[in-house]
Amino acid sequence: MDGITELACFLRKNRDLSIENSLRLVDCTLAPLMAFSGPVIIWPEKEFKKLTAAFVRCNKEAWQMSPNTSTALFTFPKDRGGLQIKMPKAIICSATWGHLTRCCQFDDGTRQLAEITYKDALEKHGCLDLEDLQYEAEFLTWDQASQNSFTFACHLTSTIGIRVSWDPFNPDWIASATNTDLAQVMIDTQHSIHIQLNNEQKWATVVGHSEEGKTVQMQTGNGETFNMKTEGQDTTSGYPTLREAIQRTSPTLVRMSQLTEPNWIYGTEEKRQGRRKIGWAQAIYPLQAGYTSLDSIPKGMQQDSSVLL
């Protein structure tokens, strides 16, 4: 809070700065500051309103506007004559959901704590899933919602007017799988992942794992072998962990069924010979990004389009 006030005073005193440089200064300091601290600091509603007011004041000073300028100018969409800046509530909302995603992603202790917090939120408010919790959180006060990180995240999305569709602890998620199960599935499917080995990018597969699955044995296409941790942080070997490597290689690979049933797409159980074995999300997203209609798909792909759509 003090830093934001100091920035507002600095912009007020230094009118020789161009508007472009002043806006760049605001963008490089305020938003990252709130995004970094927002998910781990419980802001009382009264203090958060002061924070929002200070944030708006900094933007007014950056634009060299009068302090009496209406705040609506900053929140209105650009197509309606507004500046459409990202307000503190939207910044903290995005950062909070990102924080929860990271906590649920890896089995390093934070996931277990997040699961306890999630179940407490559902039980306290009588909800079945995250969608129910978002509707319930809409009727809670700021202070009531801030007692639980999942409830608070749902309260932010509800007040902003958006909905998040997410099942953080679905047993089919790769993040929910044990190290042993994940390593064994990677061995059975021979799913390749991209690894930097000796300053070269190479494809490798899992060929073995330790008894508890904490480490896996990898093998490249030319027969090189090396060991890699399954999760956590590896500061000695320089290799990413298996879970990190999977996410980097295939960002849309999130379910175990995408590995075990690669051709299963939206209920389609037909498996065709010679079809590349990738998950449904990896097949759908590039198609939607690259082609707007079936007519624009090359003829060689149209023969297989019934599996994708």
Domains identified in the chain and CATH numbers: 2-86 (no CATH), 92-160 (no CATH), 174-249 (2.30.30), 261-308 (no CATH)
Of the two residues 146 and 308, the one the predictor is more confident about is 146
- Quickly state the pLDDT bin for 298 (edges 50, 70, 90): very low
Residue 194's DSSP bridge partners are 203
Which of 44-53, 68-77, 146-155 shows the highest mean pLDDT?
146-155
- Rounded distance between C-alpha atoms, residue 114 and residue 116, angstroms: 5
pLDDT at 11: 58
Amino acid at position 234, single letter? D
Which of 31-35, 120-124, 244-248, 297-301 shows the highest mean pLDDT?
120-124
The two three-digit tokens of residue 155, written as one number: 């309260």
Mean of pLDDT values over 157-182: 87
Which of 17-31, 95-109, 133-147, 164-178 shows the highest mean pLDDT?
133-147
| 229, containing H or E segment | strand 225-229
97-109 confidence digits (pLDDT tens): 988 988 887 666 7
Task: Residue 177: count other Cβ atoms within 10 Å of its Cβ.
Answer: 20
Residue 2: pLDDT over 70: no
Of the two residues 13 and 159, the one the predictor is more confident about is 159
Write phi, then psi, for 267 (nearest 5 degrees).
Answer: 85, -5
Residue 276: pLDDT over 70: no
User: Model's pTM, two decimal places?
Assistant: 0.67
pLDDT at 80: 80
Lowest mean pLDDT among 7-11, 182-186, 279-283: 279-283
76-123 confidence digits (pLDDT tens): 888 888 888 888 888 889 889 988 988 887 666 788 899 999 999 999
Residue 148: pLDDT over 90: yes
Mean of pLDDT values over 15-22: 70
The two three-digit tokens of residue 112, written as one number: 């277990």
Complete DSSP assignment for the chain: -HHHHHHHHHHHH-TTS-HHHHHHHHHHHHHHHHHHHGGGS---HHHHHHHHHHHHHHHHHHTT--TTS-THHHHS-GGGT------HHHHHHHHHHHHHHHHHHSTTTHHHHHHHHHHHHHHHHT-SSHHHHHHHHTTS-HHHHTTSHHHHHHHHHHHHT------TT-TTBGGGS-HHHHHHHHHHHT--EEEEETTEEEEEEEEEE-TTSSEEEEEETTS-EEEEESSS---SS-PPPHHHHHHHH-TT--BTHHHHSTT-BTTB----TT-----HHHHHHHHHHH-SSGGGS-HHHHTTHHHH-
Average pLDDT taken over every residue of the chain:
76
